């Protein structure tokens, strides 16, 4: 037997072994990828709601809406740090539509506004990568920088039946101790009017507005007395009707709480922000102030809060991308800050009564410019949760107008809702 004859079986065997190894690795990788795709998590939410609006606007009829929102999502498992998420959303009106779901010339202007139009859309669709102490996302997604529902500047407007989402690239980094650094580049806003909505008044086309915006947010939790947050939101709108609204907001917030004894905790928050024109924006320089102080005692929260959005009669401090329903009254009289600005002094009581979650809020409104009486409002919520999957509740808002020089009308809103979530 020559040397070739001796080596040939060895070489062939090695090659076969290597081939089998490669095939095995490929098969293993394929299996891992398939497992990631199929071993994911399905999410489902359905919320049925009745909403009524009664106001003193003589040109509009009282409105009522029976709607149901359904979302169905799927999050894949992880593969090499990557995973994906896809979520569909549908809003359906039940019965006759006695409400204006699309504010503007295209809507049913004989009725008061309930901004929950019919429609089906992709609410979220993104690819996510986790690595280097950082979460990266690319695609359509919801954005929030604070806990629900405190999305003052950037939020998903969860109260309306359609969510607000963004076509964006985002990242969150936690490399530094007690620190989260977030950044987002936003290409498009997908508004709560849904994909089918076109509203020339608001510059909305196919339910969205193009933009070229950058968001920066840093949160530090290593302080003994609370959390420190700094942010810079640079909003540049591409829509011709929105261009003048382009603005930059830079601010700082401190919030926290301290125990007084075993039963009582003091809670507090302070926040300041400045907003000015950006790119093609035309607004004047305006400020934002917020302060609150309260206490938690045996499951109850009581606090007093003050919020000021400056306005000079021409322009005012605005939170165009926030979950504004959570602020300045549930009657939604001030979703957009009036040009004369707004001061809101409000008192909140929250706790549990016979197993029901109770929230009661009283608002006293006053304009910044001219110190006009802008009205007052009482808000009430009773809600019950069952087995982590089911929620039922009722909600009420009663706004009473103030000075006749300030153009608002008495408004009552009422909701009954039920939700199931898995």
89 and 164 together in one domain: yes
Is the domain of 13 the same as that of 141? Answer: no
Q: State the pLDDT at residue 17.
A: 42
Query: For residue 149, is the peptide bond before it cis, meaning its omega torsion is within 30 degrees of 0?
Result: yes
Give me the domain span that covers residue 115.
Answer: 40-421
* Phi/psi at 326 (5° precision): -75, -5
Paired tokens of 134: 């950082």
CATH of the domain at 104: 2.40.160.10
| pLDDT at residue number 33 | 81
My answer on whether 14 and 67 are in the same domain is no
Are 339 and 316 contacting, i.e. CB atoms less than 8 angstroms apart? yes
H/E stretch holding 22 reads helix 3-38
Report the alpha-carbon distance of residue 140 to residue 90 in Å, rounded.
16
Q: How many domains does the chain have?
A: 2
- Domain match, 3 and 142 both: no
Regarding whether 1 and 71 lie in a shared domain, the answer is: no
Q: Looking at residue 202, what is its pLDDT?
A: 57
Report the C-alpha gap between 221 and 201 in whole angstroms: 42
Q: Quick one: 340 and 228 in the same domain?
A: yes
Residue 37 structure tokens:
């795709």
Both 79 and 26 in a single domain? no
Same domain? 8 vs 73: no
Q: How far is CA 319 from CA 7, 16, 76, 80, in A?
A: 77, 66, 34, 38
Place of tokens 């707004």: 342
**Could you report the average pLDDT of every consecutive run of 10 residues in the chain (422 residues)?**
42 40 55 82 97 92 95 96 96 89 67 91 97 97 85 93 96 98 96 72 71 97 96 92 91 96 96 96 95 96 98 95 94 95 98 95 97 97 95 98 88 98 95
Distance CA 160, CA 177 (A): 37
One domain, residues 136 and 15: no
Q: C-alpha distances in angstroms, 152 versus 145, 201, 215?
A: 9, 24, 14
Whether the CB-CB separation of 333 and 399 falls below 8 Å is answered with yes
Among the listed residues 407, 406, 405, 396, the one whose alpha carbon sits nearest the alpha carbon of residue 362:
396
Specify whether 23 is located in the same domain as 172.
no
- Tally the residues of the chain: 422
For residues 160 and 281, state if they share a domain.
yes
State residue 242's pLDDT score. Answer: 82
């Amino acid at each position: 037997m020559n040397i070739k004859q001796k080596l040939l079986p060895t070489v062939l065997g090695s090659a076969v072994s290597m081939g089998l190894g490669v095939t095995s690795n490929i098969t293993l990788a394929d299996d891992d990828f398939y497992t990631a795709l199929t071993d994911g998590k399905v999410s489902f939410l359905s919320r049925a709601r009745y909403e009524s609006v009664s106001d003193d606007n003589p040109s509009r009829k009282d409105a009522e809406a029976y709607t149901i929102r359904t979302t169905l999502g799927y999050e894949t498992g992880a593969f090499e740090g990557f995973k994906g998420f896809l979520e569909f959303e549908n809003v359906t009106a039940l019965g006759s539509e006695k409400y204006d779901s699309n504010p503007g010339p295209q809507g049913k202007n004989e009725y008061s506004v309930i901004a929950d139009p019919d429609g089906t859309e992709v609410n979220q669709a993104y690819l996510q990568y986790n690595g280097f102490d950082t979460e990266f996302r690319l695609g359509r997604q919801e954005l929030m920088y604070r806990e629900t529902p405190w999305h003052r500047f950037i939020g998903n407007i969860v109260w309306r039946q359609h969510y607000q989402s963004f076509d964006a690239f985002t990242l969150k980094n936690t490399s530094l101790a007690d620190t989260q650094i977030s950044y987002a580049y936003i290409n498009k806003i997908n508004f709560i009017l849904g994909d089918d909505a076109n509203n020339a008044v608001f510059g909305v086309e196919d339910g969205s507005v193009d933009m070229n915006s950058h968001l920066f947010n840093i949160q530090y939790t290593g302080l003994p007395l609370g959390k420190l947050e700094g942010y810079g939101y640079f909003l540049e709108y591409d829509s011709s009707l929105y261009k003048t609204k382009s603005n930059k907001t830079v601010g700082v917030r401190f919030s926290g709480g301290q125990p007084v004894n075993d039963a009582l905790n003091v809670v507090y928050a302070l926040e300041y922000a400045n907003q000015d024109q950006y790119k093609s924006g035309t607004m004047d320089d305006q400020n934002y102030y917020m302060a609150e102080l309260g206490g938690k005692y045996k499951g109850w929260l009581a606090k007093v809060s003050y919020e000021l959005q400056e306005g000079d009669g021409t322009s005012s401090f605005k939170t165009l991308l926030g979950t504004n329903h959570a602020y300045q009254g549930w009657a939604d009289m001030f979703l957009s800050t009036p040009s004369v600005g707004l001061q809101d002094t409000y008192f909140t009581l929250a706790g549990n009564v016979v197993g029901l979650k109770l929230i009661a809020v009283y608002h006293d409104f006053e304009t910044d410019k001219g110190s006009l009486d802008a009205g007052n409002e009482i808000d009430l919520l009773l809600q019950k949760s069952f087995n982590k999957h089911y929620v039922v509740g009722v909600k009420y808002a009663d706004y009473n107008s103030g000075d006749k020089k300030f153009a608002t009308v008495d408004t009552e809103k009422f909701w009954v809702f039920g939700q199931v979530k898995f």
